[in-house]
């Protein structure tokens, strides 16, 4: 987790040069030799631009989605609603439209949709025998990809047991083939 955060911060530093707003603010601040623009609540902290004391995430859709994923998909009690996810993201990060972007992401999240559909099924239609009685018989599988992880892993396989709501995270590579996946299941679950 900590490692993912460090990767994100590194990416933010690299992307900074692509965001005109940040470039302008940083240049202005350097010109007048100050570390904080009080009226716009901007601050410079090393290579990072802070806005309202949060790390400003430059205008890079992929990067912003990655940050949302970090707080929506990965924590053990993951896949929270849009308000909770927004709260988690904005503890550390900020950009214009962050709430809207998180809302859109959560609404479009495939795993959230599947969980919602299950809990909203009318109780009368669910026979008792359909309730999974054994652990790890009803699983939901999700992937988090395009990560920069250690030990040559760049993706996380997320497996959720619908009965216990227990979630397993398995580091893997995106290139892992079906055969490798079966092995990961056998070895990790």
The least CB distance from residue 116 to Zn ion, in Å, is 9
The least CB distance from residue 109 to Zn ion, in Å, is 3
Q: Which stretch binds Zn ion (CB under 5 A): 7-15, 25-33, 78-86, 159-167?
A: 78-86
| DSSP string for residues in the chain | -HHHHHHHHHHHHHHGGG-HHHHHHHHHHHHTT-SEETTTTEEEETTEEEETTEEEPPS-HHHHHHHHHHHHTSSTT-S--HHHHHHHHTTTEE-TTHHHHHHHHHHT-HHHHHHHHHHTS-GGGS-GGGS--STTSSEEEEEE-S---STT--EEEEEEETTT--EEEEEE-TT--HHHHHHHHHHH-
Residue from 12, 112, 155, 158 binding Zn ion (CB under 5 A): 112
Q: Which stretch binds Zn ion (CB under 5 A): 16-24, 54-62, 107-115, 135-143?
A: 107-115
Site size with Zn ion, rule: CB under 5 A: 4
82 contributes a contact to Zn ion by CB under 5 A: no
The least CB distance from residue 106 to Zn ion, in Å, is 6
79 contributes a contact to Zn ion by CB under 5 A: yes
**Binding-site ranges for Zn ion (CB under 5 A):** 79, 109, 111-112
């Amino acid at each position: 987790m900590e490692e993912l955060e460090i990767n994100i911060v590194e990416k933010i530093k690299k992307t900074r040069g692509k965001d005109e707003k940040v470039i302008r603010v940083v240049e202005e601040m350097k010109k007048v030799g100050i570390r904080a623009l009080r009226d716009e609540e901007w601050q410079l902290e090393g290579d990072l631009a802070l806005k309202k004391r949060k790390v400003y995430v430059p205008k890079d859709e992929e990067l912003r989605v990655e940050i949302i994923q970090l707080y929506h998909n990965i924590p053990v009690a993951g896949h929270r609603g849009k308000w909770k996810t927004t709260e988690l993201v904005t503890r550390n990060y900020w950009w214009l439209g962050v709430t809207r972007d998180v809302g859109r992401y959560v609404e479009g999240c495939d795993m959230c949709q599947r969980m919602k559909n299950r809990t909203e099924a009318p109780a009368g239609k669910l026979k008792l025998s359909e309730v999974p009685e054994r652990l790890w018989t009803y699983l939901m599988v999700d992937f988090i990809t395009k990560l920069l992880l250690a030990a040559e892993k760049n993706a996380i396989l997320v497996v959720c047991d619908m009965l216990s709501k227990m979630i397993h995270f398995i580091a893997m590579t995106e290139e892992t083939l079906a055969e490798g996946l079966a092995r990961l299941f056998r070895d990790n679950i």
